[in-house]
Amino acid sequence: MSGAGSIYDLGYQRYEGRRLGRAYAFRSLYLHGLAAAFGIGRSTRSKVVPIGLFVIALVPAIIELGVTALAGDVVRPVRLDNYFSLVGTVMLLFCAAVAPELMGRDQRNHVLSLYFSRALERRDYAVARFAALLTAMLLIALVPEVVLYLGTALVRSDPVGYLFDHLDQPGPIVASALVISLQVSGVALAIAAMTPRRAYATGGIVAFWFIADGLGSLIASVSQASTTLSASELAWTHYGVLLSPSLVGDGAVRWFFGTGGDAIIQQVNLPGWWYVVVALAYAGVGLAVVLRRYARIAA
């Protein structure tokens, strides 16, 4: 045997290839959140609630189209503008089911440190989760509306003509869906971010919505029945409407579509764009809460 031998180091090797960076990490987290919202990539059981609720949201549209196709344009209980009140509950329940999954799972399993030790900033995580929930909500808000809009056109003899006549519809549809989705996502995510326990988050979201709704609508409706308040005090109770997320959402949608709204909204007679601003404020405050929580959370 000749000469010198060699020992080859087959151990730890550094990765010298391309690293895709922060934007890619953000995009991956966003897509993962979106899939997780619908239970994709997990067991069938975790798909039941989100997809079930999505189907329930579609049902009024489909029934409406069926009725129109069979009985003609007689009565339209389900229209583009009141659709959101109908599916508002579904959207809330969807958020109450999904937001705790998005935020609580990583907190429960203590894996946040794994995320934060990557190219991802803490706020990127929060924003990516928000974007994922928002996208899911937009799907639930938009798809039934679009189905209703296009379906109504298709059941007529002249679909294209109908669409041209109603070119003013898509704008309000998109705007309403966006505002509603932002509002409910912000509220749900903020509450879900505060606790790792799923049941607390779900219960908290529904309870918050209920409490705010109850307070808001009943404060506002006091003015309808009151005799002891002066005119200026009555005006103050009108602002109570803004406490109720459902009424705020409804007001915003009506303003976009230019139609009258719920009895209370009409009675209170606040400028329509206020509702939009308040809805966006809900979203903004919610996002701020989430950002702050994740800036300070122990990882």
Partner 1 sequence: MGRDGVLRQLIVLTARQALGRRRVLVALLAACVPVLVAIIYRLAGGQDAQAWTSNLLDNVVITTLLPLVALIFGTSVLGGEIEDGTIVYLLVRPVARWEIVLAKLAVGAVATAVVVGASAAIAVAISLPSSLSPGTVVAALTGVAWGALIYAAIAVALSVVTGHALIIGLVYVYIWEGVVAGLFTGTRLLSVHQYVLGVMSTLDPTQPSLLPAHLPLSSSVELGAVVAVGAAVVAAWRLSRFEMSDQP
Residue 242: DSSP 8-state: G
CB-based contacts of 195, cutoff 8 Å, min separation 6: 104, 107, 201, 204
31 binds partner 1 (CB under 8 A): no
CB-based contacts of 97, cutoff 8 Å, min separation 6: 49, 50, 53, 202
159 binds partner 1 (CB under 8 A): no
Distance CA 52, CA 15 (A): 44
Interface characters, 89-118, with partner 1 (x: CB under 8 A): xx--x--xx----------x----------
CB 280 within 8 A of CB 182: yes
Among 82, 169, 183, 202, binds partner 1 (CB under 8 A): 202
Distance CA 175, CA 181 (A): 10
Token digits of residue 278: 């308040």
Among 204, 245, 249, 261, binds partner 1 (CB under 8 A): 204
193 binds partner 1 (CB under 8 A): no
176 binds partner 1 (CB under 8 A): no
Among 113, 226, 259, 269, binds partner 1 (CB under 8 A): 226
Binding-residue total with partner 1 (CB under 8 A): 35
53 binds partner 1 (CB under 8 A): yes
- Closest C-alpha among 208, 136, 205, 183 to residue 284: 183
198 binds partner 1 (CB under 8 A): yes
Token digits of residue 56: 């329930």
295 binds partner 1 (CB under 8 A): no
CA angle in degrees (0–180, nearest 5) for 160-171-183: 140
Smallest separation (angstroms) from partner 1 to the CB of 22: 32
| Interface segment toward partner 1; rule CB under 8 A; list 49-57, 121-129, 146-154, 271-279 | 49-57
244 binds partner 1 (CB under 8 A): no
Could you tell me the end-to-end alpha-carbon distance of the chain, in angstroms, rounded to an integer?
A: 57
199 binds partner 1 (CB under 8 A): yes
Binding site for partner 1 (CB under 8 A): 45, 49, 52-53, 56, 86, 89-90, 93, 96-97, 108, 197-200, 202-204, 206-207, 210-211, 214-215, 218-219, 222-223, 225-229, 237
